[in-house]
């Protein structure tokens, strides 16, 4: 059998308008479009793997869409000739070459997982733990808006089959208490609501909120910026606490688990550097009986396909929900994206990630590095 070697890394970029015009979060964070980057890793055996990364603006996480290409330029020369199937070694080399910048490494890692699936003619979930369920429960994220508009959006999503809803708060304590209480009052049997502050409340505001809403059936997601502040909220809250932005590495996850800082955690692929590390965090959470949202920061078809394989291979009791990020964009970057049916993301049996980039839309590469030997 031929030895697989990386011979070329290229990147393509596209500006993706947000469906409906804009997406609003706490503290005035509004996004109307997102720059996504599709990375292609090519081998000497003529196999191409694909990954995608799409930071949610520049003020959400330490991730900068225009920083992806310069980061790839740092990494690419050190990856030529490596076997893309040796994923642990590949990640170790990326970490030694470029400290941090997980969002740059993520699409490279995912592309190499795609190569693994294609080289063995298997769907990716087989290598991530197997397929526990073929229909993955989705949550519907309600962009922060006047309460009446959010209730109407909830009704529409409910009609489409969604049973889990994320309420984007705006960081104003009084408004958010009313927002959460009013939307949760529409709850029907079997539905779940999560109020997401995106780090928008101070510690004392979050403590006040969880005490005020003690009678409301709602989860509270990332109430404060720091892990210590979120822990202080958890210690006085009778409501389940979910952590997201603050869980950005294996070490932080282990610290949060040791301190019993959360009931649920969001595992975001690009935030931790790709599928290799996301799988590590996923498996530890599953072993500790911590439920998860399996997702990514933002993105389109390739990101959603990546999420589907990681979510499908997550034990059922360990997965609260996952996300179809492609639905937030007015168009996608690939074909054969996972389909959505009545609030569920369907799992594909196509090999690898199961997608093919839309080259007519993506156009020419904005970056390319190839083995010159």
Return the active site residues. Answer: 168, 268
Kindly report the number of other CB atoms within 10 A of residue 289's CB atom. 9
CA dihedral 258, 259, 265, 271 (to 10 degrees): -80
Kindly report the number of other CB atoms within 10 A of residue 138's CB atom. 25
**Inter-residue contact 111 to 49 (CB < 8 Å):** yes
Residue 330: both structure tokens together: 């007015």
Per-residue CA distances from 31 to 18, 56, 317, 370 (Å)? 8, 8, 33, 35
Residue 226: both structure tokens together: 């720091």
143 phi and psi angles, rounded to 5 deg: -55, 140
Helices and strands of the chain, counted as H and E runs: 13, 19
List helix spans (H) across the chain.
68-79, 87-97, 102-120, 125-128, 147-159, 173-184, 203-212, 227-236, 250-258, 269-272, 275-287, 301-312, 359-362
53 phi and psi angles, rounded to 5 deg: -135, 140
Contacts of 147 (CB under 8 A, 6+ apart): 178, 179, 182, 183
Residue 122: both structure tokens together: 């298997």
Contacts of 215 (CB under 8 A, 6+ apart): none
What is the rounded distance in angstroms from the CA atom of residue 284 to the CA atom of residue 196? 24
């Amino acid at each position: 059998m031929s030895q697989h070697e990386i011979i070329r890394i290229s990147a393509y970029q596209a500006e993706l308008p947000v469906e409906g015009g804009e997406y609003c979060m706490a503290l005035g964070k509004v996004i109307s479009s997102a720059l996504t980057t599709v990375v292609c890793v090519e081998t000497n055996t003529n196999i191409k793997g694909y990954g995608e990364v799409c930071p949610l603006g520049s003020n959400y996480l330490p991730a900068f869409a225009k920083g992806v290409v310069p980061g790839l330029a740092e990494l690419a020369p050190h990856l030529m000739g490596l076997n893309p199937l040796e994923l642990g070694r590949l990640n170790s080399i990326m970490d030694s070459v470029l400290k941090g910048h997980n969002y740059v490494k993520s699409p490279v890692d995912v592309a190499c997982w795609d190569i693994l699936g294609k080289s063995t003619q298997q769907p990716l979930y087989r290598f991530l733990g197997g397929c526990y369920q073929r229909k993955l429960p989705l949550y519907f994220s309600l962009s922060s808006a006047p309460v009446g508009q959010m209730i109407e959006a909830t009704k529409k999503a409910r009609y489409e089959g969604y049973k889990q809803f994320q309420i984007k708060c705006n960081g104003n304590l009084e408004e958010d208490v009313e927002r959460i209480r009013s939307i949760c009052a529409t709850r029907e049997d079997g539905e779940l609501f999560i109020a997401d502050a995106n780090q928008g409340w101070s510690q004392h505001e979050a403590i006040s909120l969880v005490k005020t809403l003690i009678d409301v059936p709602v989860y509270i997601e990332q109430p404060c910026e720091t892990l210590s502040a979120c822990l202080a909220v958890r210690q006085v809250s009778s409501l389940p606490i979910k952590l997201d932005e603050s869980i950005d590495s294996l070490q932080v996850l282990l610290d949060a688990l040791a301190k019993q800082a959360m009931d649920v955690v969001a595992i975001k692929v690009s935030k931790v550097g790709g599928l290799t590390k996301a799988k590590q965090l996923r498996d530890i959470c599953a072993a500790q009986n911590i439920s998860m949202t399996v997702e990514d920061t933002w993105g389109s078809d390739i990101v959603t396909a990546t999420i589907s394989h990681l979510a499908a291979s997550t034990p059922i009791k360990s997965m609260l929900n996952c996300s179809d990020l492609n639905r937030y964009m007015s168009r996608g970057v690939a074909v054969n994206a996972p389909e959505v049916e009545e609030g569920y993301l369907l799992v594909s049996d196509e090999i690898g990630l199961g997608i093919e980039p839309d080259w007519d839309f993506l156009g020419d590469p904005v970056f390319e590095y190839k083995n010159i030997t």
